C-alpha cells in the first residue's frame, strides 16, 4: 500500500488512518521455525505453558529462527486467549476463541509425542520478558495448515 504525503487540505484523521494501514501491512508478515515440543501444560481452556527447543539452524533449511528463537536452547511460552495488545479497529478475523482452542489441542497432541512442529508469529507475535529473553507471552494462537502440515502462529500485538 503506497501512502501519499499528507497535504494541508487533507484531514489529520485521514492521514493517520493511511499511516496506520501502511504500518499494519508492514507488521502483518509472519514467520515460523521448526521446534520440538518438550512440554505443554494447560491450566484452563485458554491458558497454557509451552516449552519448545528450536532445531539447529542447519536442520531447518528455509526457516528462520527469528528474533525469538535465535539465542534460546529452550523457549517458554506463557499464553492465554485475550484481546490483542495495542490499538486496532478490530482483531484479525482468524484470531478467534475456536482457533485458539484448535491450536491448544494440536499442541497437547504434539507434546505427548515430543513432536517436531512449526511455531510461528505474526507481527509482534510474542512479548519478550525483559529479564529472560527465552520467556515470552502470547495472547492468541492460530493453527494454520498447508501442504507441509500445520503451524501454530502466535499473536500478541494487534496488526
d(CA 91, CA 84) in angstroms, rounded, equals 7
Neighbouring CB atoms inside 10 A of 30's CB total: 18
Place of cell 516449552: 51
pTM for the full predicted model:
0.76
Identify the pLDDT of residue 7: 46
Pair 52, 119: CB distance under 8 Å = yes
CA angle 55, 106, 129 (to 5 degrees): 55
Place of cell 497437547: 108
| Measured distance between the N- and C-terminal CA atoms of the chain, rounded to whole angstroms | 15
Low-confidence ranges of the chain (pLDDT < 50): 1-4, 6-27, 58-60
Identify the pLDDT of residue 8: 47
Identify the pLDDT of residue 57: 56
Tell me which residue of 21, 33, 55, 22 sits closest to 154, measured CA to CA: 33
Q: Using CB atoms within 10 A of its CB, is residue 42 exposed (0-12), middle (13-18) or buried (19+)?
A: middle
Please tell us whether the domain made up of 29-155 is placed in CATH 2.40.50: yes
Identify the pLDDT of residue 111: 96
Amino acid at each position: 500500500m503506497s501512502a501519499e504525503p499528507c497535504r494541508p487540505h487533507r484531514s489529520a484523521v485521514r492521514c493517520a488512518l493511511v499511516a496506520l494501514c501502511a504500518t499494519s501491512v508492514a507488521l502483518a508478515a509472519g514467520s515460523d521455525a521448526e521446534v520440538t515440543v518438550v512440554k505443554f501444560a494447560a491450566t484452563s481452556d485458554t491458558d497454557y505453558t509451552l516449552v519448545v527447543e528450536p532445531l539447529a539452524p542447519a536442520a531447518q533449511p528455509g526457516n528462520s529462527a527469528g528474533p525469538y528463537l535465535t539465542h534460546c536452547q529452550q523457549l517458554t511460552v506463557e499464553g492465554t486467549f485475550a484481546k490483542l495488545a495495542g490499538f486496532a479497529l478490530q482483531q484479525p478475523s482468524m484470531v478467534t476463541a475456536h482457533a485458539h482452542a484448535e491450536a491448544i489441542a494440536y499442541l497437547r497432541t504434539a507434546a505427548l509425542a515430543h513432536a517436531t512442529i512449526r511455531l510461528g508469529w505474526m507481527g509482534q507475535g510474542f512479548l519478550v520478558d525483559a529479564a529472560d529473553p527465552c520467556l515470552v507471552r502470547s495472547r492468541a494462537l492460530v493453527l494454520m495448515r498447508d501442504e507441509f502440515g500445520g503451524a501454530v502462529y502466535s499473536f500478541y500485538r494487534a496488526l
